[in-house]
Each structure stands twice: as structure tokens, then as C-alpha cells.
A and B are shown apart, each in its own frame.
Chain A
Amino acid sequence: MKKILFLFLSVSFLMACQNSGKQAGTSEQEVVAVSVDSILSNPAVFADQSVVVSGMVAHVCTHGGQKLFLVSSNPEKYLRINTGKSIPEFPIALEGSTIEVKGVVSKFVEEGETEPAMEESQTDTTSKEHAYHKDNVYVIVADSYTEKTN
């Protein structure tokens, strides 16, 4: 009996470990310091680049803290930051703080969606939420962030 249980546990763990080797190799890339406005004005230029960007956090997603939005000089545009593999979540307490984010500018593709903002508008129905998600064709997938003193 013990052998069976041991065998079962071992097989389960081995199966679970199969997808562990899929790590994106971005550590060798040069990191470019950019402003929120410059990314928003022409995000395609920075596509797949590692960047460092600073800004004030306007909003942290309350559905799990997997994304936040940085304020730009255009009140209608926000830069969306997604958590990367090394960041479990963005705490709500970051709202109103200035943070420095290091990450990769990535084209935002939600699985099964052709329009990036569509899924968000269905779950976050307030007009303010809609404003945050507007035009988020490119996002920064954050590797790390630090909170600056306000």
C-alpha cells in the first residue's frame, strides 16, 4: 500500500513538473529608461524591449492585483503594467504612490480576444475602469518594481 501511494505521489509530482522549463530569456537585454508618455506615444518602438519607467499609480486592479495603471500627462491615457512571473501581485496600497517598474514592453493579447480592452470592459463596468483600460494595446510585463518616496 505504501509503495502504491509513494508511486502515485511521485508520478503526480513528475507530471506537474513537466512545464517548469518554459522561462523567457530576457535577462541579457539592455534596459532602457523611458517615460510613461514616450511609451504611450509610440509603444511599438519599444516592443519587446526591457525598460525602466516611473510614474504615479492611478489604479490597482481589485480583482487580484495583477495589473496597475500609471498616470500620463494625457488624462485619458494610462500605461498598463502587468505582473510578471516574479511578482505575485500589486498591493492596493500602491495607489497614489510613485513607483519605478522594470519590465518588458509587450503586445497585449488576451487569449481568445481580438480587441484588448474587450474582456476588461465586460468585467470592469465602471466608466473609470473603462478609461484605465482604453487603448492598452501594449503593456509592460513587470519583472520588478520599487516604490519611491512621495
Chain B
Amino acid sequence: MNWRKINRVIHRDLGYFFFGMSIIYGVSGIVLNHRSPRGDASTIRRSESFTVEAPIKKEAVDKSYVLSLLAGLNETDFKQYYFPSENEVMIYLTGGHVSLLLNTGEGSIVKVRNRPVFREFNFLHYNKPKQLWTWFSDFFAGSLVLMAFTGLFILKGKNGIKYRGAILSIAGILVPLAFLFLYLWTY
């Protein structure tokens, strides 16, 4: 068996084996690129504003007040509440919270839940399982490097690394270098 065939087999089999991992890391990579201060696409966050009669005295905020406030928001129960400041009460619901400014009566109700699939993908991408998953994902990362090199030598001729392959490979290296030049080295 010549080296080119070995190269092709390694590239092919690793490609098959890591198909699922490539999808997981690709999709969650996009999600991580678009993180915002309020979270990322692995969570669904819905926020609605409301206003109640104000000002509200801090001493007047008790369990019965909280329950009546929540009733107006179509919520029936809460976990706990506390005052992050003298002018604000935070009420925790199951899967969300209500924040209310006591001087203006302006508030918001925020409901947060996990987005299926994205959550699972991100769970793995963030290496939350730790331990064994670290080994497997290191193996995947190492294999990606190997697949990149073996991929260069799959084809012979003008579509191979001697012409078309070389042009595209160099172009693909120049793009991140250009970003580094613009945003890191000369910034």
C-alpha cells in the first residue's frame, strides 16, 4: 500500500468517525460566536415590561403584595424575593424572574428556558462533562489537525496541492492572518 492510499484512508475514516463531532462543534461554534451579555442561543429568554402604581414603599412589599403583583402577570407562584437595592425588588419564579423598581413602578418579567439541541451541543463544546470528555474532544481536535494535513494530499494533478489546492490553502491561511493583522498586531 502506498503512502497516498494510507493518507486517503486516514482522512476518510476519521472524517466518517468525527462526522457527529464536526456538526456539534460547528453548530455550537456559531452559537458561541453570537453570544450576548444576556446569554446565547442555547437559552430562550423572553422579557416583557410592565408598569404598576408607584411609588411603592419597601416595607409594603411582602408575600401578599408579591402574589398580587404576580397575579397581574398571570403568574401564580414564586420561589423567593429579595431587594438588590433600596429601590428594587427581585422576585424569582420557576424559570424566570420579575424585577420591579419601587420608585417608578417600572418592571420586567423575564422567562428563561433551555433551547433543546443547542443546549446539548453547547454543553459538550464548553467541555462541561470534563474528565473523559476532555480526552475524547482532545482526540477530535488532534484528528482535525491530522485531517487538515491529510486533506491536502487526497488528489493528484491540477486540482491537487500542486495548483488549485495550493491556491485555496494559501487563501484560507491569509484570511485569518489578515484579521490578526487588522485587529491584533496593528490595533
Q: Do A and B bind each other?
A: yes
Known interface pairs A13-B135, A62-B43, A64-B122; A95-B92 also in contact (CB < 8 Å): yes
CB-based contact A131/B143 at 8 Å: no
Interface bin, chain B: 35 or more
CB-based contact A62/B97 at 8 Å: no
B37 contact from A4, A124, A131, Cβ within 8 A:
A124
CB-based contact B138/A58 at 8 Å: no
Interface bin, chain A: 35 or more
Interface residues of B (CB under 8 A from A): 1, 6, 9-10, 13, 35, 37-40, 43, 45, 78-80, 82-86, 90-95, 97, 112, 114, 122-123, 126, 128-131, 134-136, 138-139, 142-143, 146
CB-based contact B37/A123 at 8 Å: yes
B92 contact from A4, A20, A96, Cβ within 8 A:
A96
Is A89 located at the chain interface by the 8 A CB criterion? yes
Known interface pairs A63-B39, A123-B37; A5-B9 also in contact (CB < 8 Å): yes
A 27-39 to B, binary, CB cutoff 8 A, 1 in contact else 0: 0000000000000
CB-based contact B84/A12 at 8 Å: no
CB-based contact B37/A125 at 8 Å: yes
Please give, as numbers and ranges, the residues of chain B lying within 8 Å of A98 by CB-CB distance.
80
Known interface pairs A85-B131, A93-B94; A71-B37 also in contact (CB < 8 Å): no
CB-based contact A1/B1 at 8 Å: yes
CB-based contact A95/B97 at 8 Å: yes
Known interface pairs A12-B143, A58-B84; A4-B6 also in contact (CB < 8 Å): yes
Q: State in angstroms the CA–CA spacing of A124 and B93 once bound together.
A: 22
Task: Enumerate A1-47 residues with CB–CB distance to B below 8 Å.
Answer: 1, 4-5, 8, 12-13, 15-17, 20
CB-based contact B92/A131 at 8 Å: no
CB distance from A36 to the nearest CB of B (A): 12
Q: State in angstroms the CA–CA spacing of A63 and B84 once bound together.
A: 22
Task: Enumerate A42-88 residues with CB–CB distance to B below 8 Å.
Answer: 56, 58, 62-66, 71, 75-76, 85, 88
Please give, as numbers and ranges, the residues of chain A lying within 8 Å of B40 by CB-CB distance.
62-63
Q: State in angstroms the CA–CA spacing of A88 and B129 once bound together.
A: 5
CB-based contact B37/A88 at 8 Å: no
CB-based contact A75/B84 at 8 Å: yes
CB-based contact B142/A12 at 8 Å: yes
Q: State in angstroms the CA–CA spacing of A131 and B88 once bound together.
A: 14
Known interface pairs A16-B135, A16-B138; A8-B10 also in contact (CB < 8 Å): yes
CB-based contact B94/A88 at 8 Å: no
Is A114 located at the chain interface by the 8 A CB criterion? no
